[in-house]
Amino acid sequence: MLLIGGQNRKYGQLFQNRGLVSCVRGLTLIEVMIALAIFLAMGLAIYEVIIRLTRLNTVSVQRVVATAIANETIETIRNLTYTDVGTVGGLPNGVVPQTNIITRQNMTFTVATTIRNIDDPFDGTISGNPAPVDTAPADYKQAEVVVTCTSCQYPSAVRLVTTIAPNGLEISTGNGALFIRVINAMAQPLPGAVVHITNSSVSPPVDLTDTTNATGELQLVDVPPSVNGYHIEVTQGGYSSDVTLAATVDNPNPSKPDATVAAQEVTQITFAIDALSTISLTTSNTICTPLAGVATHLAGSKLIGSAPDILKYDENTVSDGGGQINRTLEWDTYSTTITDPSYTLIGTVGTLPINLLPNSHQDISLILGSPTAHGLHITVKDATTLLPISGATVNVTRTGFNQSADTGRGYLRQTDWSGGGGQNNFVDESKYQSDDAQVDIATVGQVSLAQNGGDYYASGVITSSTFDTGGPTNFTNISWAPVSQPPAVGADSIKFQIATNNDNATWNFVGPDNTDATYYTVSNETINPAHNNSRYLRYKVFLSTADVAATPILSDAAVSFTSGCVPPGQVFFSGLGSYDYDIYVTASGYDSDTRSVSVSGWTNNEVLLTPS
């Protein structure tokens, strides 16, 4: 009985142990995944710290090595004789290479050395400003060494500068000076422009590359005399170039000949470069179908030579498979003609000639028709604003011939504000969106400053209603009339800003540089291409006077645009003979025009209608 009882207690304890074991709970899958995510996040953070430390250490090693190379180069220059301190082919000429490649610790470094003669104003300058005239302008030399790791993953540059003075007194060398000034299209100085100067007619020959300073200048003193020997090229990344040219058989009189430097004289040359722009010409028919393989001629107006005139840009080209001709060009005025005998130019969407601004884009559609031996292209414009007139009727007649056509539309225009404000969309042509209560709109056909106690307000603003072009549009010019204002009101008494969008809700009014700090102040000014491909437009006109006894007057505000394949303000008559034709042009609100035109080949004629 005791034995049996002991066995029962043994088995009972076993059962209790098994019960305890069965109550222990394991980890669920979600808990395992959360734990893994925590460990992964911690691991990634640690890895990022390691990467950053490794990068920092690598960059530090690179800079230490680059600094050592720069110091070695500077010390080498300092230990040269003064006459040898200069770059090979440079000004001053010497034994130091302008560019050198050095490999150190499995890293490749480019060492760029620039050495310049410095004309210290303490004893005067060669130009005499400040006085007196320094006949020995090379007072000392300045060496600049820039070391860059070109093979490193994280390249950085180390720059060291030192000066080297002569052991004895300075002496006159009988050399001259070459001062180079680089400006942009707005005549503003352009720092950092790359200047390359070569001259093989002096000994030793010159082959120098340098950059302009913060004021857009590169002043080289102690330059050996040479007659038309210094060839200069000025460039900058993404910019146009400007160069001097040697006289050739094809260009005997270059506009900017290679530079001449005379003893004890300063030669000053100005170069103009700016951001490159693009032109896209499209050759298509009247229903916007692209025409491929059309031969055209595209030419600028800038000259690089005279007697005979030599154009800087002059090209015969052909449209591609999509009817496109795309060119990257510098700012200039460009003209284009169709040279393909299979087509005739019947109109353009976009203004010709093309006024291409720096860092801009212009789209021009050349609308082509069937070839004709003799055709007449007529453009009808407002004589005051020079805007194309839509809806003008052009009648061409001669004995046995009578044909009429209407010009297309090409501008947004307002000539009356007497209906007042409160109109969001331009439906009633006499109304607008809002004003500042300081303008007078009572007189039909004009707006001026309102009177305030016998005098005029000093300024006033009107914001137009929304003009809807119906689709993506390229806006080209903004014009107004009258252009001449009373002298008493002062300069820029009428100026505009415009706003465009595709939602008819976002109105940011800006000027010609696409900021709210500038204004369109010249009638028929080119609109910034940033507004291209917008559907809706509003203008804001600012009236002001310098004399509250006088007011400016606005009678016409207009924005020209291109859209679709209907040439604005243009008509074309084909199948004509080589005869004289009578032209009669009428348009609502304008005096009619009658003239005789002799047609021979492709003939263009411009008709200016005077508002009645």
Give one DSSP letter per residue of 153-172, joined into a string: SS--EEEEEEEE--SS----
Residue 545 confidence (pLDDT) above 60: yes
Tell me whether the CATH fold assigned to 176-272 matches the one assigned to 277-371: yes
Q: To the nearest whole number, what is the mean pLDDT of the chain?
A: 88
So what's the pLDDT on residue 411? 63
Q: What is the dihedral of CA 37, 39, 45, 50, to 10 degrees?
A: -140
Residue 17 confidence (pLDDT) above 60: no
pLDDT tens string 32-52? 788 788 877 787 777 676 666
For residues 475-491, give the mean pLDDT. Answer: 91
Residue pair 469/476 in contact by the 8 Å Cβ criterion: no
Q: What are residue 305's DSSP bridge partners?
A: 254, 310
Res. 429 pLDDT band, cuts 50 70 90: confident
Percent of the chain with pLDDT over 70: 91
For residues 142-155, give the mean pLDDT. Answer: 86
Residue 181 confidence (pLDDT) above 80: yes
Residue 590 confidence (pLDDT) above 50: yes
Residue pair 474/532 in contact by the 8 Å Cβ criterion: yes
Distance in angstroms (rounded) separating the CA atoms of residues 31 and 33: 5
Residue pair 346/289 in contact by the 8 Å Cβ criterion: no
Res. 255 pLDDT band, cuts 50 70 90: very high
Domain 277-371 fold = Immunoglobulin-like (2.60.40)
Domain 373-410+563-612 fold = Immunoglobulin-like (2.60.40)
Residue 4 confidence (pLDDT) above 70: no
For residues 455-479, give the mean pLDDT. Answer: 90
So what's the pLDDT on residue 277? 97
Residue pair 256/244 in contact by the 8 Å Cβ criterion: yes
Strand order, beta sheet including 324-329: 324-329, 277-284, 361-369, 344-349
Q: What is the pTM of this model?
A: 0.62
Residues written for the chain: 612
So what's the pLDDT on residue 351? 82
| Maximal CA-CA distance, the chain | 148
Residue 19 confidence (pLDDT) above 70: no
- CA distances (Å), 49 to each of 39, 55, 61, 160, 532, in order? 15, 10, 18, 32, 47
Residue 20 confidence (pLDDT) above 60: no
Res. 3 pLDDT band, cuts 50 70 90: very low
List the chain domain ranges: 66-164, 176-272, 277-371, 373-410+563-612, 412-559
So what's the pLDDT on residue 14? 44
For residues 62-66, give the mean pLDDT. Answer: 83
So what's the pLDDT on residue 249? 95
For residues 202-225, give the mean pLDDT. Answer: 92
Please name the helix (run of DSSP H) or strand (run of DSSP E) that holds residue 393, with its range, or none: strand 393-398
For residues 425-438, give the mean pLDDT. Answer: 94
Distance in angstroms (rounded) separating the CA atoms of residues 448 and 456: 9
502/82: higher pLDDT: 502
CATH annotation of 176-272: 2.60.40.1120
Query: Which stretch of 58-67, 329-338, 339-348 has the lowest confidence by average pLDDT?
Result: 58-67
Residue 22 confidence (pLDDT) above 70: no
Res. 379 pLDDT band, cuts 50 70 90: very high
So what's the pLDDT on residue 439? 97
Residue 556 confidence (pLDDT) above 60: yes
